[in-house]
Structure 1
Amino acid sequence: MKKSKLAMGAIIVVAGMAISSGVWAAWPNDKPIEIVVGFAPGGGTDTMTRTLSRFLEKKLGNEARIVVINKPGAGGELAATYVARSKPDGYTLGMVNVPGFIFMPMYRETTYQPEDLSLIARLVDDPSLIIAKKGSSVPADLSSIIKRLSEAPGSLSFGHAGDGTTGHIALLQLEKLKKIKSTPIPFKGAGEGKMSLMGQHIDYAIITQSEAPDLESPTSEFIGIALASKKRKLKSTPTTLDEGINIFTSSERGIGGPKGLPGDINAKLQTAIAEVMQDPEYLQAAKNDVPVLSFMPGKEWEDHLSKSRKELEPFIPLIKKK
Structure 2
Amino acid sequence: MKTSRSMARRQFVLAGLGAAAVAAVPGRVLASTYPERPITFICPWPAGGTADRSMRIICQIAARELGQPIALENRAGASGMIGTKALASARPDGYTIGQIPISVTRFSQLGTVQLDPLKDFSYIARTSGQTFGIAVPARSPFKTLADVVARAKAQPGTVTYAHAGIGGATHVGMEQFAQAAGIKFNAIAYKGGSAALQDVLGEQVDLLADSSSWAPHVEAGKMRLLATWGEARTPRFKDVPTLKELGYDVVVEAPNGIGAPKGLPPAVEKRLREAFRAAVNSEEFRKVADSIDAPVMYLDAPDYQKYIQATFQQETDLIRKLNLKELMARG
Instruction: Compute the TM-score of the two structures, normalised by the length of structure 2.
Output: 0.84
Task: State how far apart, in whole Å, the 2-side matches of 1:161 and 1:273 are.
Answer: 29
- Match among 36, 39, 44 for residue 33 of structure 1: 39
Which residue of 2 is the match for residue 103 of structure 1? 106
Conservation of the 8 A alpha-carbon contact between 2:218 and 2:225: no
Which residue of 1 is the match for residue 61 of structure 2? 55
Change (3 A) 1:39 1:244: same
Conservation of the 8 A alpha-carbon contact between 2:32 and 2:267: no
Which residue of 2 is the match for residue 205 of structure 1? 208
- Match among 5, 9, 12 for residue 19 of structure 2: 12
Amino acid at match of 1:13: A
Which residue of 2 is the match for residue 246 of structure 1? 249
- Match among 79, 98, 118 for residue 94 of structure 1: 98
Amino acid at match of 1:11: G
Say whether 1:226 aligns with 2:235.
no
Which residue of 1 is the match for residue 216 of structure 2? 214
Amino acid at match of 1:51: I
Say whether 1:307 aligns with 2:313.
no
Task: State how far apart, in whole Å, the 1-side matches of 2:201 and 2:71 are.
Answer: 30
Task: State how far apart, in whole Å, the 2-side matches of 1:33 and 1:203 are.
Answer: 44
1:120-179 deviation per Cα after TM superposition (whole angstroms, max 9, x unaligned):
11112334212223x242523221112222233332332333333221221111221223
1:87-138 deviation per Cα after TM superposition (whole angstroms, max 9, x unaligned):
001111121122x1111222335311102111111112334212223x2425
Amino acid at match of 1:153: P
Conservation of the 8 A alpha-carbon contact between 1:125 and 1:250: yes
Amino acid at match of 1:49: M
Say whether 1:320 aligns with 2:322.
no
Task: State how far apart, in whole Å, the 1-side matches of 2:46 and 2:201 are.
Answer: 17
Conservation of the 8 A alpha-carbon contact between 1:97 and 1:252: yes
Task: State how far apart, in whole Å, the 2-side matches of 1:16 and 1:177 are.
Answer: 59
The DSSP-based 3-state class of the residue aligned with 1:52 is helix
Which residue of 2 is the match for residue 172 of structure 1? 175
The DSSP-based 3-state class of the residue aligned with 1:295 is strand
The DSSP-based 3-state class of the residue aligned with 1:214 is helix
The DSSP-based 3-state class of the residue aligned with 1:83 is helix
Question: After TM superposition, what 4+ stretches of structure 1 lie above 6 angstroms from structure 2?
Answer: none
- Match among 155, 158, 163 for residue 161 of structure 2: 158
Amino acid at match of 1:150: K
Moved more, 247-256 or 281-290: 281-290
Amino acid at match of 1:34: T
Task: State how far apart, in whole Å, the 2-side matches of 1:297 and 1:148 are.
Answer: 45
1:28-75 deviation per Cα after TM superposition (whole angstroms, max 9, x unaligned):
231x322222222333211211121111111111xx111222222222
Amino acid at match of 2:42: V
Amino acid at match of 1:58: R
Change (3 A) 1:72 1:290: closer
- The gaps in structure 2 that reach 5 residues or longer are 1-7
Conservation of the 8 A alpha-carbon contact between 1:38 and 1:79: yes
- Match among 129, 134, 137 for residue 133 of structure 2: 129
Moved more, 83-92 or 275-284: 275-284
Change (3 A) 1:315 1:298: same
Amino acid at match of 1:47: R
The DSSP-based 3-state class of the residue aligned with 2:290 is coil
Q: Percent identity?
A: 21
Larger radius of gyration: 2
Conservation of the 8 A alpha-carbon contact between 1:127 and 1:248: no
Conservation of the 8 A alpha-carbon contact between 1:172 and 1:315: no
Task: State how far apart, in whole Å, the 2-side matches of 1:201 and 1:268 are.
Answer: 50
